[in-house]
Amino acid sequence: MNHLGIKGKVALVTGAAQGIGEAIARAMAQYGAHVAAVDSNAERLDAVVNDILAEGGRAAAFRLDVRDGSSVEEIVERIEKEIGPIEILVHAAGILRTGPIASLSDEDWSSTFEVNCTGVFRLSRSVMNHMMPRMKGSIVTVGSNAAGVPRMQMSAYAASKAAVTMFTKCMGLELARYRIRCNIVSPGSTDTEMQRSLWKDEQGAEAIIAGHTDSYRLGIPLGKLAAASDIAEAVIFLASDLASHITMHDLCVDGGATLGI
């Protein structure tokens, strides 16, 4: 695992208390990173970090709501001073608000963008200002395959993920001269609490895999949902030295659900 170039690096992972973010934090620790695990849910975050420590990994918990701009700066400074220079930044914090556009509230729209897009901007800006003088770093944003394919009753989420995907590519262009790589991993339907919240019953997974003609949604050609670990391994790849000449790339991990478009 040492050839990945992750061992010993400080990896800041947002959304680390659950779902894909938790899987990424655990994977980073398994590959030898010192994980700065960030989330707004302190109780669940502490449980994840304690598990990582019990398994022999290195991790520390930092409670943060990415919507709080001043706290973002404070937490980044703390991580730099208490753990070390941040070399890997992974944006996995995200929220999903669903519903028809005609009845979507202003709060649903603004909260979705504050977490899924503006939070990424604020944290990236803070971390990159530490990375740039060091002339190295890797930033990975967890996007969504919904960024490129319209979804019924998911307008705010899909729009926020489209915005953050392009933001990450622009960031990669600006930071290339500093040898900082910026990439996106775009999951499809993944077996997480967020995904299960969309299901009507226990047959929800089968319905997603089969697709819905009434909502113009294709199924999943590989015939299964992604596991959170599938997404985590894609993030590990893009953050690692194996992807040392890859930047501004959007890696879709959706079992073929968007037909490679």
Tokens of 61: 């918990």
Q: What is the pLDDT of residue 109?
A: 98
Q: Where are the domains of the chain?
A: 2-253
The owner of tokens 């959706």 is 254
What are φ and ψ of residue 12, in 5° steps?
-90, 120
Q: Cα–Cα distance between 171 and 163 in angstroms, integer?
A: 12
Q: For 2-253, give the CATH class.
A: alpha beta
Per-residue confidence (pLDDT) for residue 200, from 0 to 100:
64
3-state secondary structure of 154: coil
* Rounded-to-integer distance, Cα 168 and Cα 160, Å: 12
Pick from 185, 173, 181: nearest CA to 141: 185
Active site residues per annotation: 157
The residue with greater pLDDT, 208 or 94, is: 94
Q: Which of 117, 206, 231 is nearest to 164 (CA)?
A: 117
Tell how strand 86-91 and strand 58-63 pair up.
Answer: unpaired
Report the percentage of the chain scoring pLDDT > 90: 87
Task: Supply φ then ψ for residue 10, to 5 degrees.
Answer: -85, 125
- 45-61: pLDDT as tens digits: 999 999 999 999 999 99
Compute the half-sphere exposure of residue 36: CA atoms within 13 Å on the CB side of its CA: 25
At 62-110, the pLDDT tens digits run 999 999 999 999 999 999 999 999 999 999 999 999 999 999 999 999 9
Structure confidence at residue 212 (pLDDT): 80
pLDDT score, position 142: 98
Q: Using one digit for the tens of pLDDT, what is the confidence trace for 140-193?
A: 999 999 999 999 999 999 999 999 999 999 999 999 999 999 999 999 999 887
* Residues shown for the chain: 261
pLDDT band at 2 (very low <50, low <70, confident <90, very high): low
Q: What is the pLDDT of residues 123-144, one digit of tens each?
A: 999 999 999 999 999 999 999 9
Closest CA to 184 of 132, 246, 126: 246
User: Which helix or strand (DSSP H or E) is residue 140 part of?
Assistant: strand 137-142
On the question of pLDDT at 19 being above 60, the answer is: yes
For 70-122, give the DSSP string. HHHHHHHHHHHHHT--EEEEEE-------S-GGG--HHHHHHHHIIIIIHHHH
pLDDT value, residue 214: 81
Contacts of 2 (CB under 8 A, 6+ apart): 32
